[in-house]
Amino acid sequence: MFNRRTIIGAFGAVALVGASLPASAQDMYIPLISKGFQHQFWQAVKAGADKAAAEFGVQVTFEGPDTEAQVDRQIDMLAAALAKNPVAIGFAALDSQAAIPLLQQAKDRNIPVVAFDSGVDSDIPVATASTDNLAAAALAADKMAELIGGSGKVALVVHDQTSRTGIDRRDGFVNRVKEAYPNIEIVSIQYGGGDHLQSTEITKSILQGNPDLKGIFGANEGSAIGVVNGAKELGKTDLVIIGYDSGAQQKQAIRDGVMAGAITQNPVGIGYETVKAAVAAAKGEAVEKNIDTGFYWYDKTNIDSPEIAAVLYD
């Protein structure tokens, strides 16, 4: 398991690894285009990418748009990265359809594409390193059902309805409720772009319209913190809040009892496996099509256990 201390440190929009590598390694340039860099999740993904870059002796850049709503900006970054003739590219799609023309260009130029975190609705990527978001969100639904006693009204605050992660986390939760919990009613599904402030306002609106709401699922770091803040602002202390990802604010909310628990991914592993697969693909080696990087439920009872602590990030 990766050392969590590698995650801690300054993080910029673009981080360059391997400036002092020998010429042969410098020839292997692999850009990673992320969905953003504002959340601690992406800092952790970058830490894993840095670790792999150092281990395999390649040059890696990591960048993303200022917010996860800037699909056009991400497409521009992808185009700029392809213009530098990389040996492979890692891509976490904000919009699983919009990037396909550029990814087709990469394929036509024999530049392997490795999708990470959020897949693409295409067979162009040679591999996808990600969490099984459908299964993870289904687990979140099971935990919600358990905590609200199997009946009542719940809602979802999701980061978007265009990325594979947004779609799968929404559908994984909703479908599990429909198939297993007939006495639970989903009264609202709203999208806040993963933005804390927007998700806070959405949460307040949902709570004001549904005073008897029992629980809300926040489908990524920004969404979950927005749900916590919205509930706090309205003094809603009996709401069952379940999040996704970790980060300092979510962990503190769980320790404080404000958030019941959350699903954590293995973001360092996502970054590491992305670069590892990209290096292999660039060398013409076979890579696994779907690289499942795992997920875990954590709450007050296990947040400090070694297995969980290793995949949380600060």
Are 151 and 183 spatial neighbours (Cβ–Cβ below 8 Å)?
A: yes
Let me know if residue 310 belongs to a domain: no
Rounded distance, CA 244 to CA 43, Å? 16
Check residue 7 and report its DSSP letter: G
Q: Are residues 43 and 100 in the same domain?
A: yes
Q: Which domain covers residue 250, as residue numbers?
A: 133-264
Q: Are residues 273 and 151 in the same domain?
A: no
H/E element, 264: strand 261-264
pLDDT by residue for the chain (314 residues), tens digit each? 434 333 333 333 333 333 333 334 457 999 999 998 877 889 999 999 999 999 999 999 999 999 888 999 999 999 999 999 999 999 999 998 899 999 999 999 999 999 999 888 889 999 999 999 999 999 999 999 999 999 999 999 999 999 999 999 999 999 999 999 999 999 999 999 999 999 999 999 999 999 999 999 999 999 999 999 999 999 999 999 999 999 899 999 999 999 999 999 999 999 999 999 999 999 999 999 999 999 999 999 999 999 898 888 76
What CATH number is attached to the domain comprising 174? 3.40.50.2300
Let me know if residue 306 belongs to a domain: no
Are 265 and 109 spatial neighbours (Cβ–Cβ below 8 Å)?
A: no
Rg (CA), the chain: 19
Question: Is this model's pTM higher than 0.85 or not?
Answer: no
Sign of CA pseudo-dihedral 105, 107, 110, 115: positive
Check residue 298 and report its DSSP letter: E
Locate the DSSP E strands across 75-206. 89-91, 113-116, 127-130, 152-158, 184-191
